[in-house]
Chain A
């Protein structure tokens, strides 16, 4: 009986090619659009999350001067940090794994007949750790280079492009002011910061060399610290504040002459952005499923008139109600799952294609594939089956007369 129903169903699918194609198409569109939308949404979320986390969310930035809103302008009263401050922080603050003292100065860099004004930062290798920054070619400083304050530098990709164009800068020397500096590494491109500054526009040199040849003093203008995890940021921040208050002899009640800033705003932006994207995606998926479902429903219901007469004929010549229903059920399942499979393939292909085209990370979301497939197939089966059940319960005579 099941085999019979299967034969009848396949025959009917082949015979009513147009109706079968339309039904399948409805399901294909429903499934494919949901999967493609969600895949692209996931890819975008991953992309945004990735770029935000590249800004260094575990980072604490300590600067001299009072905590104000808006741009900080160094004035005569700002007291820089010392090397002893750095040593004490490293020794006494738990929950941090990298401390980068930084001094910066704007300078003109020259290579061959190219010259370019950029920022030179003196620091140590912790600078790259704190900023979660790796070299795309070459290396960072060796212990000897840091110790001896050798004239070596790691350059950002903007400096690379401006000075060297397509040339390989490794082992070349660039002129900084009155001395030349050996290029040992190129940093990977980080792009613009949250505030629109080009983060790749810099040259990093060992701090000792910076102090001796560029600034001529041992003042440290900024300290960047990386907490061991984002949950440790608050702890690290309060112990750093307490330590620096003590070292800079600030009386309780007086305003601090330094500030410790964390990236909480960025973390908040990150989580609210991803939350919004998730909500948006959910809505898009739900609407696509609904639209797809309505499409499937329409096609199934439109063919009821035609099918009711067919059911009447079958019943009159002696088909049992359950045989007719089984046939329709098989038909609906075959068409719906066929549409579902094609829809999954199409949706995933579109998702992959568009992700590749826009250079987004590929994210494969298995659960939405399963949900979209099951939902559309269920809608197809339900709306294929229930009108048929209603018709099969009619008196065959009434079904034959159905217009």
Chain B
């Protein structure tokens, strides 16, 4: 008998509005979908379609106005700010379009940061961070600061930072938006390998069809609703 594994991500009638009453603007108008463990999902859509709002809700950075967002079966909407921060700390890795590394801070220290908040001792932090850098092929620039690295290298440092904690879910918001095609493909191959080899669930927002092709499923947003889903 197979044991039932609940989906990692579950959206149930999620809406998100900004403002009140007549003037309220809807970013999401009732969205339902589920993402199972180990999937590689691309969220696509034109700007203003609600894909970024959905991503922020998935990342526990934001909460739905109505409806339910379940993360591992937990209703995130009922959690406090600190509880959501703890969810992010323990289960979610983030990759941003703008890299968002700490400036003047070496690559290895950037990668150590999430481990520090998790309370790992210094020697373990350093070992894990170097290992993560190695997995993105950057162990040779571990002590360089972001200013000394190329855009592609910076994004790989950001990926190392996101996976160093072995997160359940890796969220990438336009990870290739600031990169050329060759670098973009490198980054996508990395994401794909982490998904395949470590079983990390990868959810990526992109508007580039070429990049979305790396995903196993594509969810298209339009006007705050799901337009279509491609396998």
Contacts and interface: CB of A to CB of B under 8 A. Distances in A.
Contact of B85 (A16, A310, A320, A397): A320
B102 A310 contact: yes
Given A4-B116, A310-B102, A313-B102, A319 B89 contact: yes
A319 B117 contact: yes
Main secondary structure of the interface of A (DSSP, over half): helix
A317 B94 contact: yes
B89 A318 contact: yes
Contact of B90 (A316, A318, A319, A396): A318
Interface string A1-39: 000100110010001100000000000000000000000
A314 B100 contact: no
B109 A11 contact: yes
A237 interface: no
B113 interface: yes
A360 B74 CA distance: 75
B61 A397 contact: yes
B47 interface: no
B39 interface: no
B56 interface: yes
A24 to B, nearest CB: 18
Contacts of A306: 103
Interface string B90-127: 10101010101111110001000110111100000000
Nearest to A316: B94
Interface string B64-96: 000000000000000001100111111010101
B86 A320 contact: yes
Given A309-B100, A310-B102, A400-B100, A317 B61 contact: no
B220 interface: no
A162 interface: no
Given A4-B119, A397-B62, A317 B104 contact: no
A317 B81 contact: no
Contacts of A310: 102
Contacts of B61: 316, 395-397
Given A15-B104, A16-B104, A320 B82 contact: yes
A312 interface: yes
Contacts of B102: 310, 313
B161 interface: yes
Among A306, A310, A320, the most chain B Cβ lie within 10 Å of the Cβ of A320
B117 A15 contact: no
Given A15-B105, A319-B117, A321-B85, A397 B94 contact: no
A313 B62 CA distance: 15
A395 B62 contact: yes
A164 B89 CA distance: 90
7 tightest A-B contacts by CB? A318-B89, A318-B88, A15-B104, A317-B114, A313-B100, A320-B85, A319-B117
30 contacts: A4-B116, A4-B117, A4-B119, A11-B109, A15-B105, A306-B103, A310-B102, A313-B100, A314-B117, A316-B59, A316-B96, A316-B100, A317-B89, A317-B117, A317-B161, A318-B85, A318-B86, A318-B87, A318-B89, A318-B114, A319-B117, A321-B82, A321-B85, A322-B82, A323-B117, A395-B62, A397-B56, A400-B96, A400-B98, A400-B100
